[in-house]
Amino acid sequence: MLVAAVLASSVVAFGSVYIASPGAGPVNIALDQCLADVQEATAYVPPDDAAIHGAALMRLCMRPFLREQALWVGAGILGELLVAVLLYLLHPWWLSRRRRMRPIASGADAELLDELADLSRQAGLRRPPTWLVAPYSTTQGGQAFGLADRRRICLDVGLLVRYDLDRAGFRAVLRHELAHLRNGDVDRTYLSIATWWAFVAVAVVPFVAVALKPDLFRVRGGPDTVRPVAEVWFPIVALGVLTAVVYLARNAILRARELHADITAAGWDTPGGALGRVVNALPWPPVRTGRIGLGGRWTELLARLGSHPSPTRRALAVADPRGTLRPGLAETAGYGVVLGLALYNVSLTVGGLVEEYLVIALALLSLGVGVLLLHLLARAVLHAGAVEAAGTRRRLLLPVVAAVGFALSGPFSLTYAENYDLGGTGLLRVTEWPVTATTLAVGLLLFAAWVRSVDTVLVESTGRCHGRRRLGTATAITVGAPLFAIWYATVFGGSILQGVQRHTTQSGWGIDWYVQLAGWTSIVHSYYPRILVQFTPLATAGLVLLWAVPALLLGWFRRAGHGPPGVRRAFRIGAVAGLGVIAVGLALPFAAHAVLPGDIRHLPANFNVEDLTGTEPLYFYMVYGNTYVAVAALLQAVGAAVVAARSTRLRPVLVPLAVTTTLAAATLGFYLSRGISDCLRLTGPGGRACELPSFLPDSYITFHLALIATSGVLLAVPAALLAAAAGGLWRRRTNTSGINVGVAPIATPTGDADAAPRSARGVLAVGLAGLALLVLGGAAAEVPGNYAFWKPDPVPIGTSPVPPPERVAAAGDPCLVGTWREVSREFDLELAGRTHRIITTGITQAFRPDGVVVVDYGNDTRFTTTIDGQRIDIVWSGQIDARYEVQDGVIRYDAERSHESSTTVLVDGKVRARLGSGSWTSDRYSCTTDTLIETPTDAGTWYRIELRRS
C-alpha cells in the first residue's frame, strides 16, 4: 500500500511537471485550437449528436496531449523506481560509511566469536551474518542491514562492554537483531525507507518547484505568470499532508518490524531471560525525540509516531503476542486514507487514456482496491473478536473509520490539489460528501457484520475449519468489492445522487394523487447507481450468495442438516411478503381501470417506446410499472424488517434469504398483473390481446428480476437496520435474551429446522435449492445483456459528420433578416385529454444574417385557461438560438444551440410539469416589409404566428 500510494501520487506530480515543461507548450496550443474547432463545429447540431460526436472529437483532440503526458509520467515513475532501487542497494555502503563500521577481526576474542556463532545457529539462519562493530557508538544496541547475499549486523561498542558485564542482556539484544534477519525484515525496512526518499527527491521536490514557479523549465521572455496565492499554496499544503502520510506509514512499518522481532526473539530466550528487562530499560522518549525541545505531551506524541514502539508496547507484545493482531482504529483509518489516495490520484490519468471506457476503467481500478480494502477490514474484524469486552464496539468502529479515512483522502490527493477549482464535483462535492461517506460507512458496516456473523456460526458449528472460514470471507469480498467499485465510479463522476428526482406525467396533471404517485415511484427506478448495479450479475447472484454459501457451509441443504434459529421463519416471512406483492399486483389493474379515465391510461396511436428517454414525461404504463416495482420493494423492506427485528443472530444471512424469496414471488406476480391488464385493455385497444402468453414470463423476465431486486435492496437495507436496532432495544427493555449479530455463542447448533420433522426439513432444503437455482439462473441469463450495457457503442463519426461551422443561411431573402415581435401566436395543445386553442403574444424572433435565429421568450410569457374548474397556466421563459436556412419559402432549422429556456405547466398555482424547448419544425413563411407570417409545413399540425418588425 505504501508503494501504491507513492506511485499513484507520483502520477499526478509528474503530470504537473510535464505541463510546466518546454515540450508541453506546442501541444497545449494545438489542443486549445482543436477544442475550439470542435466547439464551433458542434454548436448547432442536434443535442444527441453533439453529445456523442462532440465527446468523440474532443477525445481525438486530447489524445496527443494525454499520450505525451503518459510517456512523461511513465519515465518519471521509472526514474523514481530506479532511484529507490539504487538507494536500497547503496544502504550498506552508506550505513558503514556514516557509522564508520569495522569488521570484527577473526583474531579477536574467541569466546565472543563462539557466542555470536551459537546465537546465529540458534536463529536457524542458513548463512550467518557478517559481524561489524561501530567503534564510535557508545550505546548498547545493534543494527541489522545488508543485501540478500550478505546480511550484516553491527554491534555498538557499548554492547561489547555489556558482553562482559551483562551476558544475558547482550544475548537478548543479539537475538532481537537476528530475529530481524529470520523474519525477512531487512528488505522490507530499507525498501520502505528507499521508496520514501526516492518519492521526496524525484517527485516532491520538482512538484514544489513547479508549484512555486510554473515557468521554471521554460525559456522565454516576459514576466513570469502570476497566479493566485491559493492556487500556489494549496497543492503544496496537500503534498505536505501526503508526504506526512507516507512518512507515518513508513514509521508504522518499522514499528511493526520491531514488535515482530521482539516476539520471535522471545521464543528463543530462556525462561527468566533478559529480553523483557532490556526492553523496559530502553530510554523513552528516545534521545533523538527529546532533543527537539517540545513539551512533554508533544514529545510523547512524536515518539509514538516514530520508527520504534514504546518499551511498554514492546513488553506487552512479548508477554501476549496475540495482542499484536488486534487492529487499531488509527491503523484501519490509515488503510482507508492510503488506498483512497492511491485510487483517487490515478483515476483521472487512467480515465483520460481509456477515453470512452472511463466508467469501466474506474470500476476495474477500484475493484482491485476494493478487494484489498475489504480483505484488510475482514481480517481486522475477525481479529477484533479476540478481546470480547471491546470486540463489539471495535467491530462497529472499524468499518466506520475505514470509510471516513477513504472519504477524507480526496481533499489530500494531488489530483484535487491541482484541480481545486473543480472540487465541487465528484467525491469532494460539499453537498454530496456526507451522502458518499455515509453510504460507504453503511456498506462497510454491513460487510463487517456479515463476515463476523458467518464466521461465528462456522466456528461454533463446525469448529475452526480455516478453509470454510476463508470461503465465507471470500464470498463477502466477491459481493462487496464490485459494489465498492460501482460506488466509487458513481462518486468520482459526481453521480451518486443522479436520478434522485421526481418525474412528471405525460397526462393526468389535474389529478393530485396520480401526479404524486408518478413522482415518488419514479425516484428509485431512475436512480443511476441502482441502474449500474442492476446491469451486473450482483443484482441477483450476489443476493443469493449471501445466504446460499453459508447454507452450503452449514449443511442447510441436507435433509438432516442443522439450521440456526430463524431459517424457516425467514423463508416463510419472505414467502408471505411475496404473496402480498402478488395480491396487490392482481388488484392494481382493476383499481387503475376504476379510478383513471381512458384518456390518461391509453397510449397514443403513434406511440413508439424507442423514442423515450430518461427525461421524457411518464406515460401511464410507466407509472403503472413503477408502482408495481415500488410495491414489491416496500414489501421486500417489510419482510427484511420483520426478520431483522425478530432475529438475534445471522441477520446478515437471514435478511437476504427473506428478500430473495419475496423477489422470486414478486417477479412471477408481475406477469400475472400484466395478463390481467391486457385482458382489461388497460392501456387502450393497441395493447396485447387477452391470451395465455400475457400471463407467462418472456425474455424480459431477467430484466424485471434485477429491477425488482435492486429496488428492493435499496429499501430493505435501511429498513433492516432500523428494525434490528428497534428489536434490540425492545428485548433490552423486556429483559429477553437479545444478542447482536454473531456476537455471543449459542449453546447448541440446533434450531427450528431440527425441531421440525425430517420431511419438513427436506421441503425446506428443496425450497432453498430451488430458490437459489431460479435466481442464479436468471442472473446467468442476463449476462449478455449486462455485457451489452457496459460495452460502449462505437461512435459513427464517418457516417454522420458534424456540419462545418462555416455553413450559413441562404441570403436570398433579405426580407427575413431582422428582429420580429410576435403579435399573435395561435396553436393547439393537448391538455388533460382535450385539445385547446392557445393564443399568446410577446415572443421575439431575431433572424441574423449569419444564419442564426434567436427566439426570446422573456421572463414570463404566460397563457392562462380553465379546465374543469381548475386554472391552467403555461409559462415560457428564457431564449433559444439555432441555425436556419431558407429555401422555396420555407425556413428550416438544424437544432437549438442553447437550452436556456423552459416551459412550465401549473395547475391551480402548483407546478405539474417542466418541459424542454421541444423539437424544431420547419416553418412556411410569407414576408413583407413590416409583417411576417409563419405556418406549418406539415398538414397534420396547425399553428399560425404573426409578427411585426421591431
What is 848-899 written as a DSSP string? Answer: -TTSEEEEEEEEEEEEEEEETTEEEEEEEEEEEEEEEEEETTEEEEEEES--
In the block, cell 500556489 appears at 232
**Cβ(789)–Cβ(535) under 8 Å?**
yes
Helices (H), 99-140: 110-123
Of residues 600 and 738, more confidence is placed in 600
Is the pLDDT reported for residue 534 higher than 70? Answer: yes
Q: For 891-938, how does the pLDDT look when each residue is reduced to its tens digit (9 = 90+)?
A: 888 655 555 667 777 777 777 666 655 557 788 898 988 999 998 887
For residue 22 the three cell numbers come to: 518546454
DSSP 553: H
**Cβ(31)–Cβ(67) under 8 Å?**
no
The Cα-based distances of 480 to 186, 281, 337, 819, 825 in angstroms read: 35, 47, 19, 61, 58
* Amino acid at the residue 183: N
What gap in Å lies between CA 481 and CA 375, rounded to an integer?
A: 10
Q: Between vectors from CA 10 to CA 7 and to CA 14, what angle results, nearest 5°?
A: 145
**Cβ(439)–Cβ(495) under 8 Å?**
no
What gap in Å lies between CA 881 and CA 910, rounded to an integer?
A: 29
Span 666-677, average pLDDT: 92
What gap in Å lies between CA 775 and CA 661, rounded to an integer?
A: 9
Rounded percentage of the chain residues whose pLDDT exceeds 70: 77
For residue 517 the three cell numbers come to: 404517485
For residue 557 the three cell numbers come to: 441443504
In the block, cell 442564426 appears at 852
The candidate with the shortest Cα–Cα distance to 826, out of 814, 836, 813, is 836
Burial class of residue 818 in the structure, from the number of CB atoms within 10 Å of its CB (0-12 exposed, 13-18 middle, 19+ buried):
middle
**Cβ(355)–Cβ(462) under 8 Å?**
no
Cis peptide upstream of residue 936 (ω within 30 degrees of 0): no
The alpha carbon of 678 is separated from its chain's Cα centroid by a whole number of angstroms, namely: 41
Least confident span in 325-329, 375-379, 399-403, 706-710: 325-329
Q: For 799-847, how does the pLDDT look when each residue is reduced to its tens digit (9 = 90+)?
A: 344 444 444 444 457 888 889 999 888 887 766 556 677 787 888 998 8
The candidate with the shortest Cα–Cα distance to 261, out of 285, 278, 283, is 278
Helices (H), 782-873: 783-790
What gap in Å lies between CA 713 and CA 705, rounded to an integer?
A: 12
Ramachandran bin of 875, using left for φ above 0, alpha for ψ from -120 to 50, beta for the remaining angles: beta
Q: How confident is the model at residue 794 (pLDDT cuts 50, 70, 90)?
A: low
pLDDT at 588: 93
The candidate with the shortest Cα–Cα distance to 2, out of 137, 199, 223, is 199
**3 state SS for 546-611:** HHHHHHHHHCCCCCCCCCCCCHHHHHHHHHHHHHHHHHHHHHHHHHHHHHCCHHHHCCCCCCCHHH
Is the pLDDT reported for residue 369 higher than 80? Answer: yes
Is the pLDDT reported for residue 427 higher than 60? Answer: no
What gap in Å lies between CA 905 and CA 876, rounded to an integer?
A: 9
* Amino acid at the residue 667: T
Of residues 721 and 900, more confidence is placed in 721
Q: Give bridge partners of residue 449 from the DSSP assignment.
A: none
Is the pLDDT reported for residue 635 higher than 90? Answer: yes
- φ and ψ at residue 939, rounded to 5 degrees: -70, -15
What gap in Å lies between CA 919 and CA 696, rounded to an integer?
A: 39
pLDDT at 831: 61
What gap in Å lies between CA 809 and CA 805, rounded to an integer?
A: 12
For residue 160 the three cell numbers come to: 561489547
Is the pLDDT reported for residue 206 higher than 50? Answer: yes
* Amino acid at the residue 632: A
Q: For 275-319, how does the pLDDT look when each residue is reduced to its tens digit (9 = 90+)?
A: 888 888 887 777 665 545 555 677 777 777 788 888 888 888 887
Per DSSP, the residues of 478-513 read HHHHHHHHHHHHHHHTT-TTTT-SPPPBSS-TT-HH
**3-class DSSP assignment, residue 109:** coil
pLDDT at 575: 94
Q: Which residues are CB-contacts of 219 (< 8 A; sequence separation ≥ 6)?
A: 22
Is the pLDDT reported for residue 740 higher than 50? Answer: no
Span 371-393, average pLDDT: 73
Q: Which residues are CB-contacts of 368 (< 8 A; sequence separation ≥ 6)?
A: none
pLDDT at 753: 40
Span 46-63, average pLDDT: 69
- The separation between the first and the last C-alpha atoms of the chain, rounded to the nearest angstrom, is 69
The Cα-based distances of 623 to 255, 287, 303, 523, 526 in angstroms read: 61, 74, 64, 11, 12
The candidate with the shortest Cα–Cα distance to 154, out of 176, 138, 130, is 130
Q: Which of 21-35, 574-588, 593-607 has the highest mean pLDDT?
A: 574-588
What gap in Å lies between CA 344 and CA 427, rounded to an integer?
A: 9
The candidate with the shortest Cα–Cα distance to 194, out of 259, 236, 254, is 254
Least confident span in 46-55, 164-173, 750-759: 750-759
For β-strands 923-927 and 931-936, DSSP reports them as antiparallel
Q: How confident is the model at residue 686 (pLDDT cuts 50, 70, 90)?
A: low
**Cβ(262)–Cβ(176) under 8 Å?**
yes
For β-strands 150-156 and 130-134, DSSP reports them as parallel
Is the pLDDT reported for residue 607 higher than 80? Answer: no
Question: For the chain, how big is the Rg over CA atoms in Å?
Answer: 36
**3-class DSSP assignment, residue 122:** helix
pLDDT at 810: 43
Consecutive H or E run containing 924: strand 923-927
Q: How confident is the model at residue 875 (pLDDT cuts 50, 70, 90)?
A: confident
DSSP 609: G
**3-class DSSP assignment, residue 652:** helix
Least confident span in 272-281, 578-587, 775-784: 272-281
pLDDT at 371: 93
Q: How confident is the model at residue 581 (pLDDT cuts 50, 70, 90)?
A: very high
Of residues 147 and 785, more confidence is placed in 147
For residue 547 the three cell numbers come to: 445466504
